[in-house]
Amino acid sequence: MYNIVLDLLEEPHSPLSWGFRNQLDRAALSISNNIAEGFERMSTKELVGFLGIARASAGEVRSMISAVHQRRKLAILREQLLLIRESGESCARQITAWIGSIEKSPVKGKRYHQSIPETRPSERASSFEKRPGSDSQRGR
């Protein structure tokens, strides 16, 4: 989604105002950023909350495009604008389905039930080297 928006924003001599371009850029980037932040959270409730924000950002992108795509001055950008709107609709549908899947899941609360044991980098490296098939085991 964000790359499609960037393609539009990088058009030379774009008739879109600086404020519109800035807000569209931030809203589109917010979609993936909120998905990433939610995924890094420890609970399903937090994940769902951030997915909701991401879905709202997709709605903001669609709203912005809907507000301007019929302007005659933007006729040369109409195809790109409609592609962005369709991509925003697709993002919203996918996020909605993901939220529904999480809410129907029997897993509630903490998503990570086992803590990952803390190891120093040197311990991780030696552990990796001892595994069958590692370069050190092949004489490399």
Delimit the domains of the chain by residue range. Answer: 2-110
CB atoms closer than 10 angstroms to residue 2: 16
Pick the CATH number of 2-110 from 1.20.140.10, 3.40.50.2300, 1.10.3720.10, 1.20.1440.60: 1.20.1440.60
pLDDT tens-digit readout, 4-24: 999 999 988 889 999 999 999
The whole-model pTM stands at: 0.75
Q: What is the pLDDT of residues 78-100, one digit of tens each?
A: 999 999 999 999 999 999 999 99
d(CA 6, CA 135): 41
